[in-house]
Amino acid sequence: MASVPVKPLPLLRRNITSTTASKSSPMLANVSSRHFLGIFTYKESLRQMRTPASLSHRRRVSTVVSSAGNLTAPSWDSWKPDKTAAATALLLSDVIWPAAGAFAAMAILGRMDQMLSPKGISMSVAPLGAVSAILFITPSAPAARKYNMFLAQIGCAAIGVVAFSVFGPGWLARSVALAASIAFMVITRANHPPAASLPLMFIDGAKFHHLNFWYALFPGAAACVILCLLQSIVCYLKENMKF
């Protein structure tokens, strides 16, 4: 028996399409007549969503949301050793020269302490140990940049003097000085964490009070000049005398 091909009914399909369109058009008209949050209509909101300003704003919002999600997510990798550092071959010179530079730095500053002790100036203070570690171990880090180091050392030390002059010794002066020092480093783009301890050291150290605003230069900034000279020597020895 021969099979007869069945053709679709165009009238029926046209009727279905027209029926669907006729049903959806009142719905769209009804939606377009409504106000979006009582301010914009549906058509106006679509038009504003297509503007370049709204697109860039949505891109910024999505970037902020994604970065916030990365911050809130627990990162267990920070508790592990750096894979790139572990994969790099460690030479004996990479250990000897930074350690020798730190020894030379504290020896020079200690000798200067003996010479300047009659004037009440101490050069070998605790924050310089952190500065030495940054300069000798990670000389290419942002905290080791000369701009960051000297600006943060001078600015944070001066903030400590001002906080002590206004609030006197105590927890309020320490809190204000530390908060202002961090804000200062953020505003000036001078990221140098060891400088944040200078205002606290001035507020709690009675032997520094007589220096007043000279504390902005001694011992922090003045000692950093010596540390920078030693850093140049250490970097030269690491590059040219490897063993």
Give the span between the Cα atoms of 130 and 215, in whole angstroms.
18
DSSP 53-109: HHHHHHHHHHHHHHHHHHHHS--GGGGS--HHHHHSPPPSHHHHHHHHHHHHHHHHH
Stretch 130-155: mean pLDDT: 94
What is the token pair recorded at 177?
Answer: 């000085």
Give residue 75's pLDDT.
72
Q: Residue 193 pLDDT > 90, yes or no?
A: yes
Q: Which amino acid appears at position 73 of this protein?
A: A
Q: Residue 226 pLDDT > 90, yes or no?
A: yes
pLDDT tens digit sequence for 194-222: 999 999 999 998 889 999 999 999 888 99
Give the span between the Cα atoms of 123 and 132, in whole angstroms.
13
pLDDT tens digit sequence for 20-65: 444 444 444 444 444 444 444 445 544 555 555 554 545 444 444 3
Say what the pTM is: 0.65
**What's the chain's average pLDDT?**
78
Q: Is 35 helix (H, G, I), strand (E, B) or coil?
A: strand
Give residue 52's pLDDT.
53
Give residue 5's pLDDT.
53
Q: Dihedral of CA 55/56/61/67: which sign?
A: positive
pLDDT tens digit sequence for 67-99: 444 444 457 777 877 777 666 778 888 899 999
Half-sphere exposure of 48 (CA within 13 A, CB side): 9
